[in-house]
Amino acid sequence: MDITDRLKEIRATLNLSQREFSKQIYISQSLYADIELGNVELKERYIRLISSQFNVNLDWLKEGTGEMFKLSKNDARLEHLIDIFTQLNQDLQDCVLEHLKGLLKVQKEMKK
């Protein structure tokens, strides 16, 4: 899979037409179509703009490594939590779940 295939995959994942996608990176639809076809090289500034506009991981876009989209801080925190949680035995997992339910109840009370 090359960068043109990854561009198509981004568009398909985001359910965007070439016109909608190209508009977000400030180029014409015809230029973008030529880029997807491999007739025109995708310049670094457009690679960075795609990454910024669509939250795309630069390593994935350029080299195909890693995940398509960058993780938000919340996603990274959730992944860390899941990693720790799965290392616990069943009894401790149950304890964590009960503790989280209690924290949620406290938060709801604080909002009142």
The model's pLDDT over 50-76, given as tens digits with 9 standing for 90+, comes to 999 999 999 999 999 999 998 776 777
pLDDT greater than 80 at residue 18: yes
**What crossing angle do the helices spanning 44-54 and 3-14 adopt, rounded to 10°?**
20
Provide the angle, in degrees to the nearest 10, between the axes of the packed helices 29-37 and 3-14: 130
Dihedral sign (CA 26, 29, 34, 38): positive
- Which DSSP state fits 55? T
pLDDT greater than 80 at residue 79: no
pLDDT of 24 strictly over 80? yes
pLDDT bin (cut points 50, 70, 90) of residue 46 is very high
